[in-house]
């Protein structure tokens, strides 16, 4: 490509590396958009965004269940979380209790 062929190995010069990165990254993104239109595919980048968003939501939910970052929550939200926690505890305790059923 370009003015000459290059070997595929780490580019040591950091500014060249950065320039190549941003040029090639744009190229890849363009191709990804094209394939998503041409082939009706969900395209790597959209999927990445979707999964990242899902990830973020689960992190928030986990923190809430652990009692973190809850200062800004509304009362209804707190009630919902409390109920989820109580249900979880009930499930866990039933499971623990069943572990103790004598085998004879």
* Interaction site with a copy of itself (CB under 8 A): 6, 8-11, 17-18, 20-21, 24-25, 27-28, 31-32, 34-35, 37-41, 44-45, 47-48, 51-52, 54-55, 58-59, 61-62, 64-68, 70-71, 73, 75, 78-79, 81-82, 84-93, 95-96, 99
Binding partner at 4 among DNA, a copy of itself, none, C-beta below 5 to 8 Å by kind:
DNA
| Of 91, 89, 93, the residue nearest 81 (C-alpha) | 89
Contacts (Cβ under 8 Å, ≥6 apart) of 33: 43, 45
**29 CB contacts (<8 Å, ≥6 apart)?**
45
CB nearer to a copy of itself: give 18 or 102: 18
């Amino acid at each position: 490509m370009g003015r000459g062929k290059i070997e595929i190995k780490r580019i040591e010069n950091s500014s060249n590396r950065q320039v190549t990165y941003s040029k090639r990254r744009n190229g890849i993104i363009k191709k990804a958009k094209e394939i998503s239109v041409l082939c009706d595919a969900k395209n790597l980048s959209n999927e990445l965004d979707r999964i990242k968003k899902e990830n973020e939501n689960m992190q928030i939910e986990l923190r809430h269940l652990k009692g973190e970052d809850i200062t800004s929550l509304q009362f209804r939200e707190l009630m919902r979380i409390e109920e989820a926690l109580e249900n979880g505890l009930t499930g866990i305790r039933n499971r623990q209790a069943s572990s103790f059923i004598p085998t004879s």
